[in-house]
Amino acid sequence: MMDRNRIMIIWITLLIGLCLQIIPWSPSYSIFKPHILILIFSYWLIALPHRVGIGTAFVFGIIMDLCTGSILGIHAFIYSFIAYLLVFKFQLIRNLALWQQSFIIFGVSVCYNLLVFLFQICIYHTITISSLIFISSCIDGLLWIAIYLFLRLIRRSFAID
């Protein structure tokens, strides 16, 4: 029973991240919007890859597709791909300093933005990219430190392992 409650804490943090991710921002500030769900997924994938994996990322990607109204499977593929990249090298990433992990998360965020861009080109035949796309990735890299420390505090206080 205790193990189930610990897993529920992980799912609650992911659901909160999903809710924060689908909150609409004004168009002038949307370039600054961080990818909160990806940051929370990244933490759990690096910290506990045996609890949160590619399948969980796929499920939340489908939910994200349903909430945003995009074509079903786009976010599921992107989240699964990012989860694969992080799980593949989770021990290396886990042993890096926090500022080095921040650069890895910056790269993951750039990967997310580029994959969304490629799907927009392939499906909608529109090009909507600017050099400002790296601003949200920089914000993700900086926000990683706060999210990492906060989720580590939650993980330790609830003894999630």
- Residue holding tokens 């990492």? 148
Q: List, in sequence order, every beta strand (DSSP E) within the chain.
A: none
| Residue whose C-alpha is closest to residue 144's, from 51, 34, 61, 9 | 34
Amino acid 46: pLDDT: 94
* Residue 147: pLDDT band with limits 50, 70, 90: very high
Q: Which of 44-48, 67-71, 97-101 has the lowest mean pLDDT?
A: 67-71
Tell me: pLDDT of 71 over 70: yes
Q: How far apart are CA 160 and CA 155, in angstroms?
A: 5
CB burial class (10 A; 0-12, 13-18, 19+) of residue 80? buried
Tokens of 135: 């601003």
Mean pLDDT of the chain: 90
Q: Tens of pLDDT along 88-105?
A: 988 899 999 999 999 999
Tell me: pLDDT of 127 over 80: no
Residues 6 or more apart whose Cβ sits within 8 Å of residue 131: none
Tell me: pLDDT of 44 over 60: yes
Amino acid 2: pLDDT: 63
Handedness of CA 52, 56, 60, 61 (dihedral sign): positive
Amino acid 40: pLDDT: 96
Q: What is the mean pLDDT of residues 1-10?
A: 79
Tokens of 96: 């890096």
Q: How far apart are CA 102 and CA 8, in angstroms?
A: 27
Q: Which pTM was predicted?
A: 0.92
- All domains of the chain, ordered by start, with CATH? 2-157 (1.10.1760)
Q: Is 73 left (phi over 0), alpha (psi -120 to 50) or beta?
A: left
In terms of pLDDT, which residue wins out, 77 or 120?
Answer: 77
Tell me: pLDDT of 130 over 80: no
